[in-house]
Structure formats: structure tokens, C-alpha cells
Chain A
Amino acid sequence: MEMKEYYLQKIENLKRAKALQTKEKIRKEGLLDEDDYGRIAVPDKGWEIIPNHSDGSFYGIQGWTDNFCDLMDNHPTYIDGNDAFAGRWIYFMSKMRPNKWNPSYPFTHLIANQEKYDIIHGIGDDAHFAPDFELGLQLGWGGLLKKIETSAAINQGEEQEVFYQAHKRAIVSIQGWIKRHIDELALMIQKEEDPLSRENLLKMRETNRAILHHPPKTLRQACQWIIWFHLASRTYNRDGAGGQIDTLLQPYFENDIKNGIIDKEEAIYYLSCFLINDPIYWQLGGPDGNGGDVSSEISFLILEAADKINTSLNITVRVHDHMNQELFDRSLDYLIKHKNAWPRFSGDKGLISGFMKNGYSEELARKRIAVGCNWMSLPGLEYTMNDLVKVNMAKVFEVAFEEIMATSEVKSTAELWGKFTAHLAKAVTTAADGIKHHLKYQKYNEPELILNLLSYGPLEKGRDVSDGGAMYYNLSIDGAGIAIVADSFAAIEQRIEEEKRLSWEDLQSHLNSNFEDENGERIRTLLQNSERYGQGDTKGDKWASLIAEHFSALVKNESDAEQNHCFIPGLFSWANTVGLGKKVKATPNGRKGGEPINHGANPTPGFVVDGGSLALASAIAKVQPGYGNTAPMQWELDPSLAKEEHAEIIGAIIKTHFELGGTLINVNIMDKEQVLAAHENPDLYPDLVVRITGFTAYFAMLSKEFRQLVVDRILEN
């Protein structure tokens, strides 16, 4: 749609401002191997935390409330006359603590096994579940305050009083922050001479005044309300979960159009401003439960807005049998046009049937949408610890291999498998015990003051969402390193057991010397050329399926209906491939000690010579964990395929992966030459965005080591 020059110019200015902000952030805060988050740099002499513990950190509901309210009271305002909305976030409050877990609740009993199996335990980590924005849009800040009052009257008690008081203070401090923007706008309006810009500032002020207490009524107000909530929530503890953005905004948009308040161009301008504010994870489209799709005109306008800003974006299009084909086609067009890693795609079939296997209804399963990096969540209904807990299966394998070499007379892959699964069971239990420990004490460590507000239960029950306040506890444990383990089993089976080209002892000594001994490089080459996971019907594929199945069963086994604990397996490493790899010595698949482990559920790079995309899509579909969490397909799509004339083929690969049971596809389309040049000289490519895993980042913001990882992934493809 052709837009008025006026809006296009404003969007252009916003993009420019964003580029400068990113540059400034790198200059001030250094490189960061993480999401862009839309955050701007901390000002000089910025706010500092108020510790309430001798270790310099702050803990518990009082500590968090005091800190958050103080920060809100002192938070700088942010208004850009080009923007339709006020506000940006600056402080990573939860990261500013020197220590993230309250030492009064030690988990010493778990540490030995956490270290032995290199488990990322997630104890004390920030929120990784989704709020229900609809709740907030219905109630507004005033409505939420009223809800607190009503609930407090029902749930009386000392602890409850503190709980409700804290939430009330949090809301009032957020309102204070908004109010300061309203005041600031008044000054800006006075000074502004350009009538159009003045008009925009007036509207901005009117919007903010309208939603200071009351629920939003227009599209602009709804977007601004969501922005305030997520800016507060981001500041509080990094939460970046989104929701079903098209259905959330649809009524406001349709109403505005009907009442002649806005036209479509204005809507796209608002949506552009909304998206550039923060790369939140939003889902577009999805089944409506009546054989159709929830998408509507605004779904397309959101894509158009994304097209206009084309920065770091985390929009996921839900693919299902009755999806809106036009929306899918349009999303492919943009993927190919911009080659900027958006959108990504989630697979309804595997997600819904998998989640239902936990005993949930189809109706509930449909509500579990793509709102996080690798993860799905039921907005407002569950507490999950998504993407926080990882078991390094490559490390578990190392423990099993060392044990078989030290203790077993007869060595075989069967024997090794027995040891591996026994250790994996211990590792999974350790991870689950860590989660249970977290659930027990997190409220004394880091209560979810902000997300409690948009969850069903915490306010009603007077209990933190981590502490029984939520309706469901769908607790995630991810396995990492599946390809390393599968390929290691396959190499041993093929080269030692079948071909007898080396002995177990030979292998051990090569591993111990990191393949730097005599013949080491030859053997490494031989092992690397064994039948690998991802090639299709190979030994590696067989082992990968076995590992995935077994891991899932072990995680599921930790569930406890009485405690309302439903554990859900996933295969994902997030950006930890480097860190997890550093802990693992040389492995029998020919990987050298300390090298990164494989990415998520992806095979190791270079696993197949041609038709890589099909091989990848089939392989990852086969190792799906199967209970509604993901094993994402990280797809480095070759630029020669990423052309307009091949859009149908790309679409067919996406659809087939989901038809086969796949759950999530993250796509990168990167030109080799460009990536290499950007690696050399990141400053020259400030706009280059890569999808690292589930999240996207500016390439220039990544550390050298991390950039190297991205480069390797693309070159080896």
C-alpha cells in the first residue's frame, strides 16, 4: 500500500534513530550476544539498585518492589516526535544484581550433579512465560488496581497484605512514569511550531491521558497500553513474551475504521511505531477452532508495518491446515524480499497434538502460541520456565563413555547406551529437582510482580505466579547436543563395531589427546565421515530418534499431577552452543574438545552435500520431543533458493516440515560474501540482522566469537 510521504518520513526517522541508539549502546555497554530487546543505552550516572542484602543484591517482594518503584520514579522519559507512542526501556533491573539467587535458599545438594552433567539449572531466572494482554486491555491500570483491592478484601493475612500492597505500589509507580510523559508532552507541545508535529504530540498526550487509569478504546491507545506494560515488565525482569497480536488489536482497529477515527495508512504507521518499540515475540494467524483462521485485515497491516520498518523483528506466522494462504504467501514474500530473518513460522499440527498428549484439551492447546524465543505459552494461564533449563547431553555422553572405559570388561554400543541412559536419567532428575527448588523459593527471591498482574490466578489467590498462583505449571527441560551424541554413537557403531577399523582403546586415546596424537587426524576424519544424523535413514538418524524418544520419556516421567507439575521436554540449546561445547572434551564424532555443540535439534554443520534443506526438514521432524514444546529447525536458507520464483518451494518445505510434525522454523537468509565482510568490519553493516536462534540480533552487536559461530554455520551449509 502506498503511504503518505508524511508517515514514510516519520518511519524513516524512527529507523535512523534506532540505528543510532544501537550504535550508542554498543559504544557504551560493549558487545552483547543477545537479543536487541529494543532497549536504549543507560545514561551516564544512571540509576543504581538498592540492595537489601549484605551480598549487595536485593531479594524478595519488598526488595523488588522498592527497587522497581524507585526505578520507575527516577526513570527518564522518552518521547520522539516521529513516534506515535511514548516510552522506551533502559535498565535491565534483574541483571543489575550482583547475585541472582537468594543465598538463604541454597541448593548445595544439587550442585555436584549440575556440574557433572553441565546442567543450566535456571534456578532464580527471570520470567519465561506469557502474560495475557487482553486482560490488561480490558481492565486498564485502574481496573487492575480495583482487582487488587477486591482480591485483598477476600484474601486477608499478613503475607497477603504485603503481596497486594506490593502490586499496588508497582502499578502506581508505572502510572507515575506515564504521568511524567504526559507532563513532558505538555512542554513539548508548547514548543512545537510545526502544525503536523504538534498535532501528533497532542494526540500522543491525549492517548496517554486516556489510558492512565482507564482501559484503552482506540488502536493507538491499545498499542500504547501494551507498550507501557511490556516496557515495565522488560525493565522489571526482561520479559519479552508477546501474544496473538492480530486478534488483540483487531477490535480496536475495526472500531476506529468504522468510526472514521483512522484510515489504514495511519494504522500502518501506528503498527510500525509499535513494532520498532521492541522486538517482542508476536504470533500472527492461527486456527480459530471453527475450521478457519483467526487472521484478519490487521494481520496483513502488521506485516506491512514490519515491511516498512524491517529491523530486528520476532513475528511468527502460525501454519496450519486451514490457514490464510494469502497471509502465508505474503509472509514468504517479505522473508525473501528483505532476507532479514523475519518472519518465522510455527507448526500447529505438531504443537497441538503434542500438547494434548499432556492431557490437555484441544481448545486449550490452540491457545498455546508462539510468544518466546523457542517457546510457546498459554498467555496468562501458565508458569513455565521455558528456555531456561538445559541438559548438556554431550556432557552426559562423556560421563558414560569414561565410565564404560574405566569399568566395563566388554564394551559395546549397547552397553554404552545403558550407561548413557542411566546418567541421562540422573541428569534430568537433577534438572527437575532444580526447577522444584526454584518453584519453592522463587517468591522469596524474585517474585513476578508485573506478570502476576496479567495472569489468571495470582491476584485472585494472593500468591505469586511461581508459587501456585498460576493455573498450570508446564515446566520445560530442554536437551542440548543431540547431534553430537547421535553421531558419536553412530561413529562407534560403524567404525569400531562393524568395520573394526579401530578399537575402543584406540578411540579413547585419540579422544584423550584431542586427536593430536599419531594418526589422530586420520581417525578424526574417519569418524567425521561416519553415517551422521540428518543424512536420512543412517545410523546417526537412528540414534538421534532413540535419544530424542528417551529424553522425552525421562522428562515426562518427572511430572507429578498432585503437585500440578507437568514437565515438558524440548530440544534446544539457545545461544549456549559455545558455552556448553567448552565443557565437553573431544567426542567420538570427530569433534575436538571445547568446540561448540550442535545448535538445538540441528545436525552438525556440513552433514549433507546437497538437498540440505529437505534433509534438515525431515531429520528435525523425526526428533520432535512431542509434548507441545519445540525442537526448532534452524534453517540457513541458501540465497540461491531464496528467490521470488522459488517462494512456492520454500513454502512447501515449511508446510512439509510441519506436516511431518515439526514445531518451529527459524530462518536466516544470508549472503556468504556479505556475512564475511560484516564479520571483518561489523561497523559497516549496522542494519544486518541475524536470527541467532529463536531471537534475532544485530550482527554488529555480537562478540567476535559469536559472529564466528554464525559465519561457520553459514559457510558450512
Chain B
Amino acid sequence: MILEKGMITNLQRLSLHDGNGIRTVIFLKGCNMRCLWCHNPETFSQKVQIERIDQKCISCGACVEVCGSGALSMYNGKVHYNAKSCTQNGDCIPVCYSGAMHQVGEMHTSESLYKAIEKDVPFFKFSDGGVTFSGGEPLLQHQFLMEVIQYFKSKDLNIAVESNFNVSWNIISKFLPYVDHWLVDLKFINAEKHKKWTFTDNQKVLSNITLLDNQKVSYELRTPLIPTANNIKEELVAINDFVNQLSNCKQFKLNPYHKLGEQKYKNLGLEYNLAHINEMSHSEFQYWSSLIKK
């Protein structure tokens, strides 16, 4: 067997929002959507990236000294990172004292990945937990993912996959026998809006959800509720109607927009386009949630 390798951004232990019980989420790098609100921008590109964790930096300047490309500079006693000039050669990483200069993206095989999560396995047992594959879009690395999931299944782990479903049904269907639970994002019914906010079409997404529904497998739908994008009555009603005509959706819920990802954009030297949008209040979120009740 050829050992597939895949690109992972990180692992999150004890995630409370990505499936049942105690779960470890494995984030695969690379995505085919560009949702403007995304809080995991480190998963956009499938390549290794340099990330600068500002909060860790002690402004010693050692990285600036070794950076030959001018991507790092120091003014007013603070380091500034310009991703556009960065050659991603990683020279700054070993000289950094605080771990602030950091590489996102690590190649893994199914075995090395299992090794990385093995310490969490005992915790799954008492809570019916398991592993959730997320991203990015995990199915973009479907060959690797298939190998990992089959390997994890041989270890008797419960598997969930979190996907945007913007992939061919052919690929999804191959995973059906191995995945215990699907978590799928339903962002917009309105095609134009979908395109505007995610830079992709939603036809495939909607038809894949319908096809999945016919398979009678365990799945849930989530709608990220984004101020000014889809917190509009008619959009939510359309989403709700779509969900209501499905027969096997286990759960459907709204997830409130949050800005926790904003710092990550800065760390990667990317621009965050929703800086002007505020998180919504709890009561507002409650109001929108009340609209989606069947």
C-alpha cells in the first residue's frame, strides 16, 4: 500500500462543538471556499505557511536580523510582518525565543496522525466521543483522508466529518460506510449571496445535502449566522424550508458569528474583510434562532 501523506494545520483536543462527546478535531489544510467570516484562515491554502503569533513575541528582534527578504521589520519597538514579501523559507523560526514565529502545516501519515491523537483515545470511551475531521475542506485531500479514516476505524474510533459539501458526490459517497456522523454547513439558499460571501456556487452543496439525506446516515446541518449576510428573514426562512423538506437531518442549528479568527488573519499577514462587522448580542441570536424552529 502506498502511504498517503496529508497536510494538517492542527489538532484541537476537547472540542465541544464538533460532534458528540469528547472529541479531538483534526484540521486538514486547504479549502475550496473563501468564506469571508472564516475563523480558520490558516486552512485556506494547502501549503505550509509562516504565522507570527504576536501575543507571544517579546520584541527581541532576532527574527528581523535573519530575515533576508524584508518581510520582517521593527518599528516603534514592535515587529511587523509583511506576508507578501515572505519567501516562507522559515529562517526566522529557529532563532525565535518565544515560539512566536511558527510554521502552520505539517505533513502526516495515518499512523503519525493516530500517534498524535492516541493520548485522547481513552477519553472517548466514557462519553461516546471520537475524532472529527474538519478544515478547510477535509475532502479535498480525499485519498489521504480515506486512508486515515479506514485506519482509525480499524482502531474502533467514532468518526465525524465536517464538510462544506462543495465536492463531488462521487467522493462523498465513498466515505459513507466509514463516517459515523456528518456535520455540514448550509450557508445560503440564495445562489448570488452564496457566491458573494464564499466565492463559490451553492448548487453542488444543496444537491449533495439532498443526496446525503436519502442515504439515511447520521448528519446535522449548521448555518453560520453572519450579520449583514444571512441574518435576513427571507434567507433564514428559505434555509429553514430547505431543512424542513429533508427527512433524516438529526439536528439543525445556527452558529453565531464571532471574531475569534481576526487575530489569525493578522498573524498570517492576511487582511480580515469583516473587521467592520460586530458580533451579535445574545438576544438577537435568540431571535434568529427562534425563526428556524419547525
Contacts and interface: CB of A to CB of B under 8 A. Distances in A.
Interface of A: 499, 521-523, 525-526, 529, 536-537, 610-611, 613-615, 617-618, 641, 646, 648-649, 651-653, 655-656, 659-660
Interface in B111-153: 119-120, 122-123, 125-127, 129
Interface residues of B, number: 22
B74 interface: no
A652 B12 contact: no
Contact of A525 (B21, B58, B119, B129): B58
B238 interface: no
B97 A613 contact: no
B98 A521 contact: no
A659 to B, nearest CB: 6
B97 A652 contact: no
B16 A656 contact: no
21 contacts: A525-B60, A610-B13, A610-B14, A614-B14, A614-B119, A615-B13, A617-B123, A641-B16, A646-B16, A649-B14, A649-B22, A649-B127, A652-B126, A653-B22, A653-B123, A655-B126, A656-B122, A656-B125, A659-B125, A659-B126, A660-B122
Nearest to A660: B122
Contacts of A646: 16
Given A537-B119, A652-B129, A522 B97 contact: yes
Contacts of B12: 610-611
Nearest to A648: B127
A522 B96 CA distance: 9
A505 B122 CA distance: 43
Nearest to A617: B123
B94 interface: yes
Contact of B123 (A526, A610, A656): A656
A655 B126 CA distance: 7
Nearest to A655: B126
Nearest to B98: A525
A525 B62 CA distance: 13
Contacts of A523: 97
B115 to A, nearest CB: 8
A610 B119 CA distance: 14
B98 A529 contact: yes
A652 B127 contact: yes
Interface of B: 12-14, 16, 21-22, 24, 58, 60, 62, 94, 97-99, 119-120, 122-123, 125-127, 129
Nearest to B13: A611
B58 A649 contact: no
Contacts of B14: 610-611, 613-614, 641, 649
Given A614-B120, A641-B14, A649-B127, 16 more contacts: A522-B97, A610-B12, A610-B13, A610-B14, A611-B14, A613-B14, A614-B14, A617-B123, A648-B127, A649-B22, A652-B123, A652-B125, A655-B126, A656-B123, A659-B125, A659-B126
Contacts of B62: 522
B13 A649 contact: no
Contacts of B120: 611, 614
A617 B127 CA distance: 15
A529 B97 contact: yes
Contacts of B123: 614, 617, 652-653, 656
Nearest to B60: A522
B128 to A, nearest CB: 9
Contact of A649 (B16, B24, B97, B125): B16
Nearest to B24: A611
Nearest to A608: B13
Which residue, A522, A525, A526, A537, has most C-beta atoms of chain B within 10 A? A525
